[in-house]
Amino acid sequence: LFRLRKLCMFCDVKPSVCNSSGICTSRCNITSICAGDDEICAAAWRRDGENVTVETVCHPPSEPFHGVMPDNYNATECVMKQYRHLGPDVYICFCIEDECNDQLVFTPRTSSEPPSPPMALLVLVPFVVLALVLVSFMYVCKVYTLRPSKLKCNSGQERSVLIGQLGRSDSISNHLNHNTELLPIQLDGIVGKGRFSQVFRARLGQRMGENEAFQMVAVKIFHLEEFLSWKGEREIFLDAELHHENVLHFLTAEERPAERQYWIITAYHQRGNLRDYLRAHRVNWASLCRMGGDVARGVAHLHGDRTETGGVKAAMAHRDLKSDNVLVKDDLSCCICDFGLSVRLDSDMSKDELANQGQVGTVRYMAPEVLESRLNLENIESFKQADVYSMALVLWEITSRCTAAGDVWEYEPPFGKLDHPCIESMKDTVIRDRERPEIHSSWRTHPGVAAVCEMMVECWDQDPEARLTAHCVTERFDELVRSSFICDSEKKLNTD
């Protein structure tokens, strides 16, 4: 007998308006067909100061969810239970009905209401039957809408692929890496090329009856001899705690033996990378704050050992931060991409293991200590400090195209006088001559831009220990945004 798998809301971590009382909805707009036949629906609600979030997922009942083993998961409602050992404001629930984790029940419903009079039941029965028929019909339609066409894999098994909200390149919120069969993808054209791979714009297809719908995705293709590069980036992406709005959204990784290729499939952002965007566009003060703040938030998330909701994560260093590896979304927010050279910073890594990481990155963006191969391998913070130096150069690129301080120069990369710099020429410039990209005097005339310039100077300091942390840069950008809002509000009041 064919049985549909569970349907659960699946939106990972997103802001919530719940207040830990009564009944409220998750506000998740994505339904997932669970990967396993026995999976249940789960939700986690957390308040951390003013930050309130909710997470909705499919989850196997035999595994802990945020350290909590599922119990009473045969419930038809997602009744939130408080777990004080995880924090004073942490609630988790489990349930088995389709999409039951959409409604979060902080106060369990009671059945103490008196029954309706018999006459009322007689009147209501026909309406209830009609409603059930309509609901059943809508459910069947919904399930068949969610179920894409099935494909045969080498083992003869079948599986279905869920596509998120069509029409949005970043709408696939649930990782598809639990799937074992190749996705129905059609490559459209190349949009980027790196040392080890090429990036294509592609269409992820889904058949709906006689019609087909597509969602644009990005496909990073590694050839057979670059297996280790693909494997390294795949392992970074498979860390669920990497998920963040300022980190490129990962869908899945695939082995394509017929094409002798390895694929990494991610969200697609049609505006392309930050470098190309800055070549073609100037930015205003608000965009400088947003883009710079987003880059800092992405780096801070990588470097941190905690998620925004307080969960434990592995700290990572990107090691190839540059404007080419920052993507611009439709709303001009930014996310960091290309984790081919990234490394997890485990505290138990030996000095030899750290030394084997080598001198990597893009020469133009390398920190002085990386150019000299003198990273302090006794301290994993050294890798983060090198990232911060590179981040400062990206902030300089954004600032150089900002209209807030008057005249805007044509775009050029950091150290633009060096056409194709090598290690030695960069060592002469950055270490011997202690040069940095020029901060024009006009930039200092705008208080906000001047503050960003001070951040850059502190981030590209010759001494790694003297540099700001990415978290500190994030806080400063947040303060700049708040100050700008206050100033704008005061100006409006004065005008009125």
- The partner residues of 43 in beta bridges, in order of sequence, read 56, 93
d(CA 167, CA 146): 15
d(CA 376, CA 103): 50
d(CA 25, CA 163): 22
Under 8 Å between Cβ of 293 and 474: yes
Long-range contacts of 471-480 (CB under 8 A, 24+ apart): 471/300, 471/303, 471/304, 473/296, 473/299, 473/300, 473/388, 473/391, 474/293, 474/296, 474/297, 474/300, 476/451, 477/289, 477/292, 477/293, 477/296, 478/293, 480/289, 480/448, 480/451, 480/452
Give the up-direction half-sphere exposure of residue 137: CA atoms within 13 A in the CB hemisphere: 6
Q: Nearest Cα to 315, choosing from 327, 301, 305?
A: 305
Secondary structure (3-state) at 15: strand
Active-site residue, selected from the candidate residues 12, 320, 324, 387: 320
CA angle, 457 then 319 then 373, to 5°: 80
- Those residues with Cβ within 8 angstroms of residue 303's Cβ, 6 or more apart along the chain or in another chain: 315, 316, 317, 384, 387, 469, 470, 471
CA angle, 265 then 270 then 272, to 5°: 90
Q: Nearest Cα to 252, choosing from 324, 188, 216, 262?
A: 262
How close are the terminal C-alpha atoms of the chain, in Å?
71
Amino acid at 191: V
Amino acid at 314: A
The pair phi, psi for residue 235, each rounded to 5°, is: -65, -35
d(CA 55, CA 193): 35
Q: Nearest Cα to 248, choosing from 189, 188, 194, 170?
A: 170
Active site residue 320: yes
Residues serving a catalytic function are: 320
